[in-house]
Amino acid sequence: GRSVHQIQSGQVIIDLCSVAKELVENALDAGATSVEVRFKNNGLDSIEVQDNGSGISPEDFETIALKHHTSKLATYDDLTSLTTFGFRGEALSSLCALSKFHIITTRASDGPKGTKLEFEQSGKLKGTSVVAAKQGTTVVVDTLFYNLPVRRKELEKTIKREYQKVLQLLHAYACISTGVKFSVSNTVAKGKKTMAFSTNSNPNTKENIANVYGAKTLTALIPLDLEFEMDPSNVPGSTQSARNWSTQEDPGSRNIKIVGHISRPVVGEGRQTPDRQMLFVNSRPCGLPQVSKAFNEVYKSYNITQSPFIFADIRLDTNAYDVNVSPDKREILLHDQTALLENLKNALVELFEGHDQ
Ligand code: ADP
Ligand code: MG
């Protein structure tokens, strides 16, 4: 029968994107400098992520795929200064419940050999065996939603679109992750493997963008480097959610930086750049429709009607936002969004005025 576990853990893994997101974030949390993502049949057959990070230590083998087991959060107070992507211990447990093969190969830096771990649907460790492996971890997620016929059917129907969406998400991780080599491939029917894209271990985001979108893209971009102090009168020190989120009374610094690369504010230039908007909060890829809208509005006021290329990392105090609002952590709540949008638009206009057209 279908366990409670299987139903309750459907939240963090809702689609193909969330699988790729969770596995890539785990690789980055493990300090990987190389992340390889391999899709089979656009992800319908399997998604495999291999990293060269820390590996999993043997004392964690039994627990990693159990619900709410995480090695990343020592105390609740740590939530206020979160530096890892993961902290809930839900991804592996959900993947065990929602996909067919739950196999991990891992080797820690001090391990002489690799270990292959197999898990039951409940996340309980089924068995281990010794295998040859390089340092790091490989996770294979096979036949996502095999046991949920309606969601599986839906996935089969939409897989082409889902695969394009997942690539866009991986572009964002690859562009923001400096010093990390990404390589993404897809093997479709008849075993033909095609490279989707790859990056080198670049020291800056500009070179990552060139790797992903082509060097020509850079000529149509200008650096984005905004900094402003939020007006404290607009900013209640501790809103209800901030109080729940933080155990501290100190609202933290109100200083905000927005850095990245954006289309030149010149009519006609938008055509040379891909129609892409990538937004990050403290280097965490996320969807922020209101922020996108603010950028677009400023471009429109300069009569630029093509959608601009936006790559913008909003850097602010961890007390100024909440990542804990949705289980998949894709949504982020900025506590003072209205003030931030006003500041952003003003600063952008100033940047464009100063820009030599
Ligand atoms: P979380 O990331 O929130 O801790 P996950 O379910 O994603 O939860 O992972 C559970 C645990 O498994 C992690 O805390 C980590 O110890 C281990 N783990 C998962 N993936 C990797 C990886 N690629 N490299 C090293 N450890 C990993
Ligand atoms: Mg995780």
- Span from the CA of 22 to the centroid of ligand 2 (angstroms): 5
Inform me whether the pLDDT recorded for 135 exceeds 80.
Answer: yes
Inform me whether the pLDDT recorded for 194 exceeds 70.
Answer: yes
Q: 16 with 127, same domain? A: yes
Instruction: Return the structure tokens found at 38.
Output: 């391999």
205 in any annotated domain? no
| Stretch 269-286: mean pLDDT | 81
Relative to the CA of 95, which ligand 1 atom is closest? Answer: 6
Inform me whether the pLDDT recorded for 76 exceeds 60.
Answer: no
The overall average pLDDT reported for the chain is 85
Cα–Cα distance, 197 to 232 (Å, whole number): 44
Closest CA to 262 of 225, 301, 289, 210: 225
Q: 271 with 186, same domain? A: no
Q: End of a domain among 198, 224, 250?
A: 198
Angle made by CA atoms 214, 186, 193, in degrees to the nearest 5:
95
300 in any annotated domain? yes
- Span from the CA of 310 to the centroid of ligand 2 (angstroms): 27
Q: Which ligand sits nearest to residue 137's alpha carbon?
A: 1
| Stretch 227-251: mean pLDDT | 51
123 in any annotated domain? yes
Chain segment 247-270, per-residue pLDDT in tens: 444 555 678 999 999 998 887 665
Residue 307: count other Cβ atoms within 10 Å of its Cβ.
17
Q: 172 with 40, same domain? A: yes
Q: 178 with 230, same domain? A: no
> Is the beta carbon of 66 within 6 A of some atom in ligand 1?
no
67 in any annotated domain? yes
* Nearest-10 Cα torsion for 271, 281, 139, 72: 170
Q: 187 with 302, same domain? A: no
What's the pTM value of the predicted model, to 2 decimals?
0.88
Mutate which of 25, 51, 92, 119 for ligand 1 pocket (most atoms within 8 A of beta carbon): 92
Q: End of a domain among 147, 163, 198?
A: 198
pLDDT interval class at 189 (50, 70, 90): confident
Inform me whether the pLDDT recorded for 274 exceeds 90.
Answer: no
Per DSSP (E only), the strands in 60-163 are: 102-107, 114-119, 125-131, 136-142
Relative to the CA of 139, which ligand 1 atom is closest? Answer: 23
Q: 259 with 284, same domain? A: yes
Inform me whether the pLDDT recorded for 222 exceeds 60.
Answer: yes
Cα–Cα distance, 247 to 79 (Å, whole number): 9
Q: 164 with 35, same domain? A: yes
pLDDT interval class at 3 (50, 70, 90): very low
Closest CA to 3 of 67, 62, 60, 70: 67
Of residues 292 and 270, the one with the higher pLDDT is 292
Q: Whose CA is nearest to atom 9 of ligand 1?
A: 89
pLDDT interval class at 304 (50, 70, 90): confident
206 in any annotated domain? no
Relative to the CA of 85, which ligand 1 atom is closest? Answer: 2
Instruction: Return the structure tokens found at 242.
Output: 């901030």
Cα–Cα distance, 242 to 183 (Å, whole number): 38
- What domain range includes position 337? 215-354
Q: 87 with 178, same domain? A: yes
Closest CA to 314 of 347, 283, 278: 283
Q: 330 with 225, same domain? A: yes
Task: Report pLDDT for 71.
Answer: 76
Q: Write 323-331 long-range contacts (CB < 8 A, 24+).
A: 323/82, 323/281, 323/284, 324/79, 324/245, 327/11, 327/12, 327/90, 328/11, 328/12, 328/13, 328/14, 328/18, 328/21, 329/85, 330/18, 330/21, 330/286, 330/287, 331/286, 331/287
Query: Which range among 9-23, 192-206, 248-262 shows the weakest confidence by mean pLDDT?
Result: 248-262
Chain segment 19-45, per-residue pLDDT in tens: 999 999 999 999 999 999 999 999 999
Q: Write 62-70 long-range contacts (CB < 8 A, 24+).
A: 62/125, 64/89, 64/92, 64/104, 65/92, 65/93, 65/95, 65/96, 65/102, 65/119, 65/123, 65/124, 65/125, 66/93, 66/123, 66/124, 67/5, 67/9, 67/93, 67/123, 68/93, 69/93
- Span from the CA of 11 to the centroid of ligand 1 (angstroms): 17
> Is the beta carbon of 27 within 6 A of some atom in ligand 1?
yes
Q: End of a domain among 163, 198, 233?
A: 198
Instruction: Return the structure tokens found at 233.
Output: 């009168």
Q: 38 with 183, same domain? A: yes
Task: Report pLDDT for 318.
Answer: 82
Q: Whose CA is nearest to atom 23 of ligand 1?
A: 27
Q: Which ligand sits nearest to residue 92's alpha carbon?
A: 1
- Span from the CA of 218 to the centroid of ligand 2 (angstroms): 33
CATH no. for residue 307? 3.30.230.10
Q: 168 with 289, same domain? A: no
Chain segment 119-128, per-residue pLDDT in tens: 999 999 999 9
Domain count of the fold of the chain: 2
Residue type, 126: K
ipTM value:
0.99
210 in any annotated domain? no
> Is the beta carbon of 328 within 6 A of some atom in ligand 1?
no
Sheet architecture: strand order including 221-229: 221-229, 255-263, 310-315, 277-281, 284-285
Relative to the CA of 73, which ligand 1 atom is closest? Answer: 4
52 in any annotated domain? yes
CATH no. for residue 69? 3.30.565.10
204 in any annotated domain? no
Angle made by CA atoms 42, 47, 52, in degrees to the nearest 5:
135
| Stretch 145-152: mean pLDDT | 96
Chain segment 308-353, per-residue pLDDT in tens: 899 999 998 888 888 766 666 677 888 888 999 999 999 999 999 8
Q: 96 with 175, same domain? A: yes
Q: Whose CA is nearest to atom 8 of ligand 1?
A: 89
pLDDT interval class at 238 (50, 70, 90): very low
Please count the residues of the chain: 357
